[in-house]
Amino acid sequence: PPAGAAGDLAALAVLDEAALLEGLRERFLRQQIYTDIGDILIAVNPFQPLPLYGREVAERYRHQETGALPPHIFAVASRAYHAMLGRRGGGPQSQCIVI
């Protein structure tokens, strides 16, 4: 599959600057502005309104399994919230999100 097809660029065989930028470019052209690189979420400004933040979208990500849905800021929030409450196993863990 093309480099940008993967929702998580960490899964690429070669992850260098060129592959990263090409993957982000390909996803941007398909209006997929969120891309995972392992535990890191990269957001690219779409320069247009996209239907990414409605109540239906938020509900889909509320209890999602990691990787079950495309990368999204709601997935980051859900993972952090559930880890903070200890619902990911191993007891409650402090969380930090850098924007």
Q: Is the pLDDT of residue 63 over 60?
A: yes
Answer yes or no: is 54 within a domain: yes
| Token pair listed for 43 | 């957001």
| Domain containing residue 55 | 17-85
Which of the four pLDDT bands, split at 50, 70 and 90, describes residue 89?
Answer: confident
Q: Is the pLDDT of residue 29 over 90?
A: yes
Answer yes or no: is 56 within a domain: yes
Q: Which of 1-15, 40-54, 84-98 is least confident?
A: 1-15
Answer yes or no: is 64 within a domain: yes
Please tell me whether residue 12 adopts helix, strand or coil conformation: coil
Answer yes or no: is 62 within a domain: yes
pLDDT for 2 equals 55
**Which residues, listed in sequence order, are joined to residue 8 by a DSSP beta bridge?**
36
Answer yes or no: is 71 within a domain: yes
Answer yes or no: is 3 within a domain: no
How many domains, the chain? 1
Q: Which ranges of the chain would DSSP assign to H, the alpha helix?
A: 17-29, 55-62, 73-84
Answer yes or no: is 7 within a domain: no
